[in-house]
Amino acid sequence: MQSEIDRAIDAISEVLFGKEKQIRQALTCLLSQGHLLIEDLPGMGKTTLAHALARVLGLDYQRVQFTSDMLPADILGVSVFDAASGSFRYHQGPVFTQLLLADEINRTTPKTQSALLEAMEERQVSVDGDCLPLPQPFFVIATQNPVHQYGTYPLPESQLDRFLMRISLGYPEHDAERALLRGGDGRQRIADLPVCLHPDILVEISRACDQVQVSESLLDYLQRLLRYSRENKNFAYGISPRGALALLRCAKTWAYMHGRSYVVPEDLQALLGPVFGHRLKASEEFADSSGLALVQRLLGEVDVLG
């Protein structure tokens, strides 16, 4: 099964040059049954990555471009009066899919955001008093612009927490960009990408990831990280137990992806940024440092060996 994962990564690398680390992280997120948030400036390849992921996972997907005048019904669906039957009939919204690409989620109002985020958490939608389950599996890949841009409604912390990971792509490396500029832009070929991970393989992988071992020493390190984030003055608040569980789940997948049957500290370190970056906030005295700067502190100052 590892070979399928590697093939998927290779396939996506063909349309998104030089971003193997981010592709692995994104794939880890989805293989860990989590929702993914991609944050970056416009034009950095957020949507390309989202599309490519949907493609290689072989899921049916819907894309919603969020705008400021959107209403919850535009995502969840709407009941329309059917003159023929004399009753209201429910039209499913785009959320009823296996993989939802929510583009520029912070462009829309908090009301619409929370409708989606509720669906992500509960994996069901309440319409007219009925609970309608969403298809299985259900993933959301949301993209957003950096919050300091105009016309954005930043997601509150509690809703950021619904995303298992937040990654950003950054500018391409020199060589990768050169390849891109030479006309090798693979975005056109997304539609031709092979389906590498069928849904039934996904289930198997997920089961295998659960089998990955976690030793006491590793838990010691994880707890040292947690204690540091809770006790250090630079942190406004520490990592919650849910955040810790999220990291552990991702680390297991990451270890599995690298062909190991146990988790090592390097696994935790590789995922600390994507998993903790959006769950941390600097205290007021050190307000100028971002979540990722705090992650750097955790990486640099918490002793691995203990």
Partner 1 sequence: MKPEFQLSRPALIWQMVAVLLVVLPLVWELPVWLLLVTLMTTGWRYMVYLGRWSFPHWSIRTILVAGLGLPLMLKIGQGISLDSMVSLLVLGFSLKMLEIYKRRDALLVMMVAYLVAASTLLFDQSMTATFYVLFCILIITTALGAVFQSSDSGLSGPFRHSAMILLQALPLMVVLFLLMPRLPPLWTVPLSSTSTKTGLSEKMSPGDISRLTRNADIAFRAEFVDRKPEQSELYWRVMTYGSYDKGTWSEPDGAHPLLPRHVSVTDIDLARSLGDELAYSVVMEPSFQQYLPALDIPLAFSAEIRQSTDFTLRASEPLRERYRYQLRSATQYRTYPRSAESLLRYLRLPPGNPKSRALAQQLVAENADAESYIAALLTRFNNSFIYSLTPPLLGQNDIDDFLFESQTGFCGHYSGALVFMLRAANIPARVVAGYQGGEWSPDGSYMLVRQYDAHAWVEAWLPERGWVRYDPTAAVAPERVQMPAQDMYQDQPDFLADLPLAGLHQADWLAQLRWQLDAIDFRWQRWVLNYQNRQQGLLERLLGKVDSIRLVFALMIPFALMLLVIYWQQRRQENPVVRPVWQRQLDKLLSSLIPLGWSRHEGETLRQFCERVAEGQPQWRNELVMLADCHERLQYSCEQDLRLESAMIEQLKRCRDQLGRR
Half-sphere exposure of 109 (CA within 13 A, CB side): 9
Q: Residue 31 Cβ, how far from partner 1 at the closest point, in Å? A: 21
Of 62 and 296, nearer to partner 1 (C-beta) is 296
The answer to the question of residue 265 lying near partner 1 (CB under 8 A) is yes
Contact 75, 93 (CB under 8 A): yes
The answer to the question of residue 110 lying near partner 1 (CB under 8 A) is no
Q: Which residue has the tokens 């502190």?
A: 297
Q: Residue 217 Cβ, how far from partner 1 at the closest point, in Å? A: 4
Smallest CA-to-CA distance from 53 within 183, 202, 163 is with 202
Among positions 64, 75, 102, 302, the unique one binding partner 1 when judged by CB under 8 A? 302
Bridge partners of residue 141, in order along the sequence: 36, 101
Among positions 2, 65, 149, 261, the unique one binding partner 1 when judged by CB under 8 A? 261
> How large is the C-alpha radius of gyration of the chain?
20
**Cα separation of 52 and 16, whole Å?**
9
Q: Residue 300 Cβ, how far from partner 1 at the closest point, in Å? A: 5
Bridge partners of residue 37, in order along the sequence: 142, 166
Bridge partners of residue 61, in order along the sequence: 99
Smallest CA-to-CA distance from 146 within 260, 282, 292, 285 is with 292
Bridge partners of residue 103, in order along the sequence: 65
Q: Using CB under 8 A, which of the segments 11-19, 30-38, 149-157, 261-269 binds partner 1?
A: 261-269
Of 134 and 270, nearer to partner 1 (C-beta) is 270
Neighbours of 156 (CB within 10 A): 12
Of 26 and 294, nearer to partner 1 (C-beta) is 294
The answer to the question of residue 149 lying near partner 1 (CB under 8 A) is no
Smallest CA-to-CA distance from 278 within 29, 19, 31 is with 29
The answer to the question of residue 68 lying near partner 1 (CB under 8 A) is no
Site string for partner 1, 227-256 (x = CB under 8 A): ------x-----------------------
* Count of residues that interact with partner 1, criterion CB under 8 A: 22
Strands 35-39 and 61-65: unpaired
Q: Using CB under 8 A, which of the segments 30-38, 74-82, 149-157, 294-302 binds partner 1?
A: 294-302
The answer to the question of residue 148 lying near partner 1 (CB under 8 A) is no
The answer to the question of residue 304 lying near partner 1 (CB under 8 A) is yes
Q: Residue 258 Cβ, how far from partner 1 at the closest point, in Å? A: 12
Smallest CA-to-CA distance from 77 within 89, 90, 66 is with 90
**Cα separation of 136 and 42, whole Å?**
31
The answer to the question of residue 76 lying near partner 1 (CB under 8 A) is no
The answer to the question of residue 262 lying near partner 1 (CB under 8 A) is yes
Of 79 and 213, nearer to partner 1 (C-beta) is 213
Among positions 246, 264, 280, 294, the unique one binding partner 1 when judged by CB under 8 A? 264
Q: Which residues in the 196-225 window bind partner 1 by CB under 8 A?
A: 213-215, 217-218
Q: Identify the H or E element spanning 178.
A: helix 174-179
Q: Residue 296 Cβ, how far from partner 1 at the closest point, in Å? A: 9
**Cα separation of 212 and 173, whole Å?**
33
Which residues here bind partner 1, judged by CB under 8 A? 213-215, 217-218, 233, 261-266, 269, 285, 298-305
